[in-house]
Structure 1
């Protein structure tokens, strides 16, 4: 290969590098997929009943009944330490939970996280980031639990907003848009 060919290859490679950089800078993050489930006329969704019938270990290895969250709106976030969008949204989700806990008067909703990961990874991550809401170990069974609540694709992060009446109000697949989430939470009846 002579110097002319090498220079041409370098120029083409540089051009593709610049074009790739421009595309990356202008790339918009996809909006989360949001859905609502059919109204059941005031009865709890059967998937929510199954959810509340579960017990999951907390990060200390102690079993916790999810039924303890019944009767008040609940934001359930399915996540994993290896999921970049999950990790990116957790500090803001933690701030939201902390804000709600510090509210004057009665809390409007609770936030919990269900990790699709090993207990060790979840504990180390939560300790490092100082997450302000309860985290539970879902393991691989957590994926099935999220599917039952509407996560047909099985993707992460997946967040479910459950009303005090056991109705699934909305689901969010992908990184949360907090302005949309805050608007949804502001409309809660609880």
Structure 2
């Protein structure tokens, strides 16, 4: 017998985590990624538009291999329905600054200080085991549309964007 599934109970929890993430973003903004740059924008400014949040670390090989795809996807976004890519580095700010100085990306990167092995804010979006990279696509209302543990491909990014409500 197939057990019916419902996403309704997850909606309030996802909204609560999004609110927590938005509030915490101002604390992360105090630790900017990118030497000499202004603090990265808080997630609050993206309310009303879809956001792809990608958790990564400088020591994570699959994360690093995925970044060119994310960067190209971010570059391609413009106009109505554009998805804002936001990276959240679970790493030390100095490591992130050094990495981004060598390989800059066109999307904002926030730094979330966590102990090694912790999943940080990504746990609230289903990443209970702390797998990196971990990505979540939020619609314009902040609801989770898609999530994935592991690197995203260009084809997956396109299908995720197509899954957004119009």
TM category (shorter chain) comes to 0.7 to 0.9
Is 1:38 matched up with 2:7? yes
Which protein has the larger Cα radius of gyration, Structure 1 or Structure 2? 1
Is 1:90 matched up with 2:67? yes
Q: Residues 27-106 of structure 1 correspond to what in structure 2 (within 5 A)?
A: 38-39=7-8, 45-54=15-24, 55=26, 56-57=28-29, 58-59=32-33, 60=37, 62=39, 64-100=41-77, 103=78, 105-106=79-80
* Residue of structure 1 aligned with 2:112, choices 120, 138, 145: 138
TM-score by length of 1: 0.71
Cα displacement string for residues 134-186 of structure 1 (whole angstroms, at most 9, x for unaligned residues): 01111217832011121011110000111111111111101113312211112
Is 1:110 matched up with 2:84? yes
SS in 2 for 1:92: helix
Unmatched 5+ residue regions in structure 2? Answer: 1-5
Aligned length: 151
SS in 2 for 1:45: helix
Kindly indicate whether the alpha-carbon contact (under 8 Å) linking 1:39 and 1:167 is maintained by their aligned counterparts in 2: no
TM-score by length of 2: 0.80
Superposed CA RMSD in Å reads 2.4
Distance 2:71 2:153 in 1: 14
Q: Residues 149-160 of structure 1 correspond to what in structure 2 (within 5 A)?
A: 149-160=125-136
Q: Which stretch has the larger CA shift, 140-149 or 113-122?
A: 140-149
Distance 1:39 1:69 in 2: 24
Kindly indicate whether the alpha-carbon contact (under 8 Å) linking 2:136 and 2:147 is maintained by their aligned counterparts in 1: yes
Residue 67 of structure 1: how far off its partner (Å): 1.2
Cα displacement string for residues 5-26 of structure 1 (whole angstroms, at most 9, x for unaligned residues): xxxxxxxxxxxxxxxxxxxxxx
Kindly indicate whether the alpha-carbon contact (under 8 Å) linking 1:52 and 1:70 is maintained by their aligned counterparts in 2: no
Residue 97 of structure 2 corresponds to 123
Residue 176 of structure 1 corresponds to 152
